[in-house]
Chains A and B, each alone.
Chain A
Amino acid sequence: MTTDTTHTATSAEHSENHGMSTAGYIRIAAILAAITALEVSTVYIDFGPFFLPALLIMMAVKFVMVVSYFMHLKFDNKIFSLMFYAGLILAVGVYAAFLATFKFFIQ
């Protein structure tokens, strides 16, 4: 088997391993668009005490969906997840501490 044939065969396998079809990607995009519409609705509709938690949850859901499905982190090697989430968690920790120093959360 030549290198080219190996590559073609394995490319197809790789695509399958990503586990998403075109219809699947469109479904994810439609869900993301719907969540965005819900987020925008919070500006016009009074959600009361649920306003802030709802917005933050929707933001987190969108973030995880893009990272997991569009960036294929859900289907890829776990080392990539470790590289990315380590940076993300470090950033959240460092800057949460930074904001706490300025009493941001008790204003």
Chain B
Amino acid sequence: MTDAVVHGHESSTGISNVKLGMWAFLGSECLLFGGLISTYMLYRGRVTGGPRPAQIFDIPFTSVSSFVLLMSSLTMVLAVSAAHKNEDRKTNLWLTVTALLGATFVGGQVYEFTAFYNEGLGFSTSLFGSSFYTLTGFHGVHVTVGIIMLMALVGIFKRSEVPGKKAEVVEMIGLYWHFVDIIWIIIFTLVYLIPV
């Protein structure tokens, strides 16, 4: 049986409109983050004042944050899997754990930004600072939006007011969450691990 029968709102192509729209959106997000990452790569060595990347990056701390976000992808996929099996309690549990891991990552980013600011790297200190805060800040906002969607979904499930089919709703938010994770995979390597 095709995907179209499983999910509602199928298109003339026989696949879910919602899912197709989400993948098109994620494809367009590649262009947004591509621009931010390229700009950072171009400006990361432009430090006229303030600290240089190697002077302020705390690799062990960021590695732990990256690990936390990576594991949140595992809990998210377990939530999607549970939703497909109609296991409501497990779905809610994994969604909540994913949101908590995401909140831990964002908390770590807030701590990191504060530490960098205290070490003299403001938004307008240098081109490196501007492009770094813009890139990682945009990513942090995406994670925060993901957390809000996850918590809203848990709240909606508890009140049993799910619009559309539950598994597909969880899957769409899952796709967004994993996308945020793959963007961090790129940022972690290009921004933190490759020296200027």
Say how far A73's CB is from chain B's closest CB, in angstroms: 9
Interchain CB contact (< 8 A) of A25 among B23, B29, B74: B74
B23 touches A10 (CB 8 A): no
Taking residues whose C-beta sits less than 8 angstroms from the other chain, chain A's interface range is 35 or more
Say what secondary structure dominates the interface of chain A: helix
Closest to B71 in A: A29
Most chain B CB within a 10 A radius of its CB, from A39, A42, A58 = A39
Chain A, residues 44-74, CB within 8 Å of chain B (1/0): the string is: 0000000010011011001100110111000
List A contacts of B190 (CB < 8 A). Answer: 59
Closest to A69 in B: B77
B86 touches A11 (CB 8 A): yes
Taking residues whose C-beta sits less than 8 angstroms from the other chain, chain B's interface range is 35 or more
List A contacts of B38 (CB < 8 A). Answer: 95, 98-99
Q: Which of B150-191 contact A (CB under 8 A)?
A: 165, 167, 174-175, 178-179, 181-182, 185-186, 188-190
B28 touches A87 (CB 8 A): yes
B70 at interface (Cβ–Cβ under 8 A)?
yes
Interface residues of A (CB under 8 A from B): 6-8, 10-15, 18, 20, 22, 25-26, 28-29, 32-33, 36, 39-40, 42-43, 52, 55-56, 58-59, 62-63, 66-67, 69-71, 76-77, 79-80, 83-88, 90-92, 94-95, 98-99, 102, 104
Task: Identify 4 new A-B residue pairs, CB closer than 8 A, beyond the known A40-B63, A79-B15.
Answer: A15-B85, A36-B63, A39-B189, A40-B59
